[in-house]
Structure formats: structure tokens, C-alpha cells
Amino acid sequence: MHKTDATHDPNRTSWVESANDPATDFPIQNLPLGVFCRKDEDEEEASVGIAIGDQVLDIALLAREGLLEDLEDEDEEIEGALDSPDLSALFCAGPEIRQMLRERICELLTAGNDEINGKKKLRKAALLPMSGVRMLLPAQIGDYTDFYASIHHATNVGSMFRPENPLLPNYKWVPIGYHGRASTIVVSGTPIRRPNGQIKAEDDTPPVYAPSQRLDYEMEVGFFVGLGNELGVACSVDAAEEDIAGLVLVNDWSARDIQKWEYQPLGPFLSKSFATTISPWVVTMEALRPFRCPAFTRPDGDPRPLAYLDSEHNEHSGGVDLTVEVYLASAAMREQGTAPVRLSRGSMREMYWTIAQMLAHHTSNGCEMMPGDLIATGTVSGPNRENRGCLLELTWDGPGQPVTARTPIELPTGEKRVFLADGDEIIMRGYCERDGYRRIGFGECRGVIVPAEKLS
């Protein structure tokens, strides 16, 4: 099981006052990792940081000031990792070192500790308001894979195209995925240009090359790989669990019209590769320990996972009790000062496959995973309409209803949406709650749609 410790104590408070606000995503029990630069500096000056309340603590600076010496004594390579503007070096240092870092930062930030708080100059240099920094991608992502792990999402999408046979026969045996595009992963806040692509109308007319008219988001969760595995050597499901460093929120932007025309026979391609947005703060597996839960309970009659995807530990605590929410704000809503509206709320508990099963399956043919690889779960959807994590599902009227009969979402301005319009902003949030523990959050994963590149 995933043991909790003194760093998860819900009564612990910080001398950073904003971290004690019950509404903050970043109390002292969270301590997510990110990469940032000061707003007046360029990206070459980027540092590893930790979010605390509405502030960012510069970890590289603490290391230079000698405050993390015990860690450096423990692992010689950690000094370089703390000084690198890329978290993959820290991810592959492994869970023990990350835990030591967590314990030390927790100690430094706890109310009453004066090692930073008592030194005015150091505090001013190391602790920066979030409004004064720019968040960058947390790691150089070499490879990106997207799974399809929600049985609710797979069943809904399947029902639209194969009403009599929604779930393909492989679904309950194989964690389905496709290779995504790492080069177009962007950090929260980056504008998303509506893609141009080949679109084919229902009638006999030939396809046209035009801006997508059916632009959608997909609410997903991503995880970063730690050390990875050796080429040709598969990873067990328990070893995979140990090699997951932390989670982020992922928006797998999807152009449904391009997807519909191109996806057979090799799956999604240009309908997905134009952009994927991730949240900047990596919530570590150490922070998530209190919120682990059993894997999805398979209904009677479903097969057990094959042995390489099965373990007692995975079945008992391979799940993550993470709630995810999607909000939309149109340009008109922002102009009027109207708050974003919530479109859906789902839970990672509903995923048919655990993150460890996804990683183990990915390596099961000997495929080599590398530090900093990002793997996403696929759209997180649940059993009810309000749990559906994309517009393709959300505006569809359900089993038996044609794909074309869609009920638009009405916004407070009176605007209607079946898919996204230019100027729409999608905001994703995620949080974990459990009695006896402090709530921790993921911050936000945002993106505004900007008009397509003009075609001459």
C-alpha cells in the first residue's frame, strides 16, 4: 500500500501564509514541481521550482545556497538535477530522492522554521509571487503516448459509430493507445491555433482543405516516466508503478472533422498532432499517496487482466482518486466579466486501466521508455452525462441517438456551442480530497482558440 507520513499531516501549516488558505491548490502537503523563469528574464535562466500557496520557491537557488546539502551527499547526481531547467533529471533520480527532497522542502516551509523565513535577503530571492513568473514545460518531452483508458469514453464514442457493438472485442484485454506528437506539447496559457485540414462532407463531394469546424478538447491526465526501461526488457506492473514520477492535467485538443476522415485504418494523426496542452505543475506520486485507491472494479463477467498487467498491489491501490473539471469562457463572457462555466466533472477512479498498467503494457513488447516521456490516460469520462470529458460526448444525446442530433451547450451570454468557437478558452482543473487529509490541487491547464491560419 502507499504509506503516508509526516509530510501529509493535515495540521501542518507554513510560514507562507497563502499556503494555509483552505482554497489553495498548493498547501504545504502538495509541493508540486515545475520549471519557471522570472518574467523579466529569458528562458535560459529557467529554474526548478515548487509551488507553495500563491508563491514559487526557487529550488535551484536553495541548492546553491547550501540548503539541500544532505540530498547532495546522498546522490551525487542530484546537484546537477536540481540545477537543470528540466525535471526529467529529477524524475529519473527515483522515488527515494524525491521523497528526501519533499521532506526537506516541507521542513524548510513549515511554520516556525527560520532557515529561509529568518533571512530576509534569501527569502526575497528564493520565494517569488506566481504573478511574477512564467511557467515553462516541466521537462523536455522526448515521446508522448495517449491511451484510451476510460471504458465510458470508449463506449460512448463507439456507440456513435457502431450502436449495435460499441466496445471493440480487444478493449477489456488491451490498454489501447496511439503514439502522439511530443513536439507540439505546450504549457498552459499557450494560444491554440485552429488547425486546417482535410474535411469530407457526408455527401459525394470530394474532401476540401479548410479550417476545422469541429474543434474539441479532451480532459485527460498525464504522467511522467522516471528512469524508464532498457530496450527489449519489459517492466512489470509493480515496477512500472515505482517508475511513475508524477501527474499533470492534459488537454488533447482534437479536430473531430479531420479525425473522422483520416482515422481509418491507422488511427488519429493530424486531428490530434496540432497541439496538446499540459498544466505546468507536476504533482508527485509522493504527494498523491493519501489519494490512491483500488483499481476500477471490473463488472462480473469481464476478464481478469493478463498476468503481466495484474498484481495485488495494483488491484488494491493502483487507482488515483483525482477529480477533474472542465470550464469554458467565450470571448464575450470574458468581455462581460462572466465567470467560466463548468462543462463537466469526472473522476480518474472511473478509468478501466491504471497508470501502472498503461506503462507496463507500453513496455511489454520491449519498447524503451525514457526519462521525461509523457503518457496520457485518454479522455476521463464517467457513467453520467455530466461526467463526459469532451464535447463529442457532452453534446451527444446518448445511445440510440444519431451522431448528427446534438444538443448545444448554452452559455450565460446566450451563445451556443456544439464544438469550440474562436476566442473560447478551455480551463481544466483537478484536485484530490479525502477525509483526514488536506485537499491538494493541480492548478490549471488553459488554452484559448485563435483563428486558423488564412488559406490563400
- Choose one: 60-68, 144-152, 300-308, 397-405; the region binding Ca ion (CB under 5 A): 144-152
Instruction: Say how far apart CA 57 and CA 109 lie, in whole Å.
Output: 9
Annotated catalytic residue within 153, 316, 361, 362: 153
Q: 133-136 and 144-147 as β-strands: parallel, antiparallel, unpaired?
A: unpaired
Q: How far is the CB of 148 from Ca ion (least distance, A)?
A: 7
- Choose one: 41-49, 52-60, 141-149, 259-267; the region binding Ca ion (CB under 5 A): 141-149
Assess contact for 219 and 276: CB atoms under 8 A: no
Side-chain half-sphere of 241: how many Cα atoms within 13 Å? 26
**Residues 244 to 263: which contact Ca ion by CB under 5 A?**
252
**Residues 426 to 455: which contact Ca ion by CB under 5 A?**
none
Which position has the grid cell 451563445?
A: 415
Q: Which of 25, 146, 350, 424 binds Ca ion (CB under 5 A)?
A: 146
- Choose one: 42-50, 129-137, 142-150, 352-360; the region binding Ca ion (CB under 5 A): 142-150
Which residues are within 8 A (CB) of 154 and not within 5 positions of it... i.e. 6 or more apart? 148, 166, 167, 171, 176, 352, 378
Q: How far is the CB of 248 from Ca ion (least distance, A)?
A: 14
Measured from the CB atom, the residue of 195 and 378 that comes closer to Ca ion is 378
**Residues 296 to 325: which contact Ca ion by CB under 5 A?**
none
Measured from the CB atom, the residue of 58 and 252 that comes closer to Ca ion is 252
**Residues 333 to 392: which contact Ca ion by CB under 5 A?**
378
Question: The sheet that has 341-347: what strands, in order across it?
Answer: 192-193, 440-450, 425-432, 323-329, 341-347
**Residues 216 to 235: which contact Ca ion by CB under 5 A?**
218
Which of 188, 80, 55, 152 minimizes the C-alpha distance to 380?
152
Measured from the CB atom, the residue of 146 and 262 that comes closer to Ca ion is 146
With CB under 5 A, what is the number of residues at the site for Ca ion? 4
Active site residue 153: yes
Which residues are within 8 A (CB) of 397 and not within 5 positions of it... i.e. 6 or more apart? 405, 406, 407
Instruction: Say how far apart CA 89 and CA 93 lie, in whole Å.
Output: 7
Strand ranges (E), 213-263 = 215-216, 219-225, 244-251, 254-255
Q: How far is the CB of 413 from Ca ion (least distance, A)?
A: 29
- Choose one: 125-133, 146-154, 352-360, 437-445; the region binding Ca ion (CB under 5 A): 146-154
Residue 63, H or E segment: helix 59-64
Instruction: Say how far apart CA 332 and CA 330 lie, in whole Å.
Output: 5
Instruction: Say how far apart CA 221 and CA 311 lie, in whole Å.
Output: 22
Measured from the CB atom, the residue of 16 and 449 that comes closer to Ca ion is 449
Q: How far is the CB of 220 from Ca ion (least distance, A)?
A: 6
Q: How far is the CB of 267 from Ca ion (least distance, A)?
A: 11
**Residues 183 to 222: which contact Ca ion by CB under 5 A?**
218
Measured from the CB atom, the residue of 340 and 378 that comes closer to Ca ion is 378
Minimal CB distance to Ca ion: which residue?
252
Q: How far is the CB of 146 from Ca ion (least distance, A)?
A: 5
Strand ranges (E), 125-284 = 127-129, 133-136, 144-147, 177-179, 185-187, 192-193, 196-199, 208-211, 215-216, 219-225, 244-251, 254-255, 276-278, 283-284
Measured from the CB atom, the residue of 99 and 347 that comes closer to Ca ion is 347
Q: How far is the CB of 178 from Ca ion (least distance, A)?
A: 8
Measured from the CB atom, the residue of 113 and 347 that comes closer to Ca ion is 347
Q: Which residues bind Ca ion (CB under 5 A)?
A: 146, 218, 252, 378
What residues act catalytically?
A: 153
